[in-house]
Homo-oligomer: A and B are copies of this chain.
Amino acid sequence: MAPFITKFEPYEPEEYVVDKKNGTKSPARLEKIAIVGSGSWGTALARVAALNAAGREGFDPEVRIWVREHEVPGRGKLTEIFNRTHQNERYLPNVDLPENLVAVPSLKETVRNASLILIVVPHQYLPGILEELKEPGLISSRARAISAIKGVEVVIQKDEQGNSSTAEIHTYPSVIEKELGIPCTALGGANIALDVGRGEFCETTIGVPSAKDAALWHAVFDGPTFRVHPIEDVAGVSLSGALKNVVALAAGFVDGMGLGGNTKAAILRIGLLEMSTFTLEFFPGSSPLTFSHHSAGVADLITTSFGGRNRKCAEAFIKSKPQYSGGKSFEQLEKELLNGQKLQGTLTSREVFEFLEAQGRLEGYPLFEKVYRIAFEEMDPKRLFEDL
């Protein structure tokens, strides 16, 4: 219905070899999928990819997922438990995973010979992972990546007096593309991992650098209950995934103050406009339609602001404050509430704030500014609505 959806031909193997004995033909090469990251979202996506790989011509059915090894007291090694039970008990409990999804303790062995690499890790871990993946010869120059990382990379260069002088912002697909030298797609929402794990109907937008990426990643992830829509806006999809978590913090503040649906809807509307305006200001090739029309925009924001972990912690943050001061920090709440998962919104909030401050552009983004000040500078949350 919306314009600028990427046109592509459905995936087919490029070349076939014919068996001279019996005349059957088979693909010359198999696409091989690797999943870097085994949190709840990584595992949910791995499940979808492994189900597709098992049934689709041209794909190696074995999908590898990197699981950091450790000993589970009394039960053995985590990867062995994963491969025996076909469950990720900690991060995606009660969801049966396909048997062709194989946990591998070594990052390098996970990606070796892979042609399609999904990177889905908390953004604070990415630099170390990319360092390891850059080993010469490990990743084929014909491979492709897709990033489901929620966040942005902000680089602020200070001058000699310690004042900020220049500020840069990069999306993770562009960082991955630059570091690994392979094209990188952005995978957006709207998705709460557990619901995807249960196979409930949902939609996902992918921002693709080419029609070939559209066809391949569509083949990896699309299915009757997981609809994949490729669009031509890699930066927009990536930015939306990062910035929506900042707005979700504001939604959580609204919930924490006990305010109703009108207030929350107003905050979401204003937040969606700031997300779109920010992206168009700093990534001028992006499209406002990514935010207003596509699942990675408006739908992901809604899902996250009603059901996500940033909302949850932000609500608890406000409720921990008698008279809206004192109370718990987000670091404490992350430990208490998230069972080892990481909070992305607060980190993104800080990075976006520092970037806008260095750019002298805070006044254009009153909601982003206030979320930061409430989260980190003890601003009274009732001031969230000023100047909006």
Contact = CB atoms under 8 A, between A and B. Distances in A.
A265 B303 contact: yes
A306 B302 CA distance: 10
A298 interface: yes
B201 A265 contact: no
A273 B292 CA distance: 9
A305 to B, nearest CB: 9
A345 B272 CA distance: 26
A359 B1 CA distance: 20
Interface of A: 1-2, 189-192, 194-196, 198, 200-203, 225, 227, 259-266, 268-269, 272-273, 277, 288, 292-295, 298-300, 302-303, 306-307, 385
**Residue from A227, A262, A385 with most neighbouring chain B CB atoms (10 Å):** A262
A264 B200 CA distance: 10
- Copies of this chain, how many? 2
Contact of A259 (B190, B200, B268): B200
Contacts of A269: 190, 203, 293-295, 298-299, 302
Contacts of A302: 261, 264-265, 268-269, 302
B191 A262 contact: yes
**SS class of chain A's interface: helix, strand, loop or mixed?**
helix
A298 B277 contact: no
Nearest to A295: B269
Contact of A260 (B2, B195, B277): B195
Contacts of A201: 259, 262-263, 266, 385
**Residue from A189, A227, A293, A299 with most neighbouring chain B CB atoms (10 Å):** A299
25 contacts: A1-B273, A190-B262, A190-B265, A190-B269, A192-B262, A198-B260, A200-B262, A200-B263, A202-B263, A202-B265, A203-B262, A203-B269, A225-B385, A227-B266, A260-B307, A261-B303, A261-B307, A262-B303, A265-B300, A266-B295, A268-B298, A269-B298, A272-B298, A273-B293, A298-B298
